[in-house]
Amino acid sequence: DAGVIQSPRHEVTEMGQEVTLRCKPISGHDYLFWYRQTMMRGLELLIYFNNNVPIDDSGMPEDRFSAKMPNASFSTLKIQPSEPRDSAVYFCASSLSGGDYGYTFGSGTRLTVV
C-alpha cells in the first residue's frame, strides 16, 4: 500500500477563497482522522470518521470548516471562506480497529492563507 495520500502538498490561497484538501486512507482502515498542526497549538483533532460516518466533529473550529467521506477511499476537508489564521499543516490519518498499529499519517498539506 502507498500509505495515506494527501493532496495538495502545499496550498497558497488568498483570504476569502475556498480551499479543499483531499485524503485517500489506507485500504481496509475503518477510521479516518483530520488533524491540524501549528507551533502554537500542536496537533489538534478536527474531526474523525468511522466506517465513513462522522463520529466527532467537536474540534472543527467554525462553520467555515466542513468534512466529508463519501466512500471508504476518499475524504475531503473544505474551508470556505479561508482566513489567515487557518494557515497550518493539515494531516489526514487512518487506522484499523482491533489492531495495535496506531495511526498512519499522510505527509500533510501545508496551507498558507494570505
Residue 4: CB minimum distance to other proteins, A: 8
- Residue pair 100/45 in contact (Cβ under 8 Å)? The answer is no
- Judged by beta carbon, residue 56 or residue 83, the one nearer other proteins is 56
Cβ proximity to other proteins: between 67 and 93 the closer is 93
Q: Which residues pair with residue 79 across a beta bridge?
A: 19, 65
Q: Smallest distance, Å, CB 103 to other proteins?
A: 6
- Closest separation in Å from C-beta 16 to other proteins: 28
**Considering beta carbons, is residue 79 or 93 the nearer one to other proteins?**
93
Residue 95: CB minimum distance to other proteins, A? 4
Q: Which residues bind other proteins (CB under 8 A)?
A: 4, 30-31, 33, 35, 42-43, 45, 48, 50, 55-56, 91, 93, 95-108
- Rounded to whole angstroms, how far apart are CA atoms 102 and 94? 9
> What does the block give as the cell for 60?
472543527
Q: Which residues pair with 101 in a beta bridge?
A: none
Return the C-alpha cell found at 90: 493539515
Contact 84, 113 (CB under 8 A): yes
C-alpha cell at 15: 483570504
Considering beta carbons, is residue 72 or 96 the nearer one to other proteins? 96
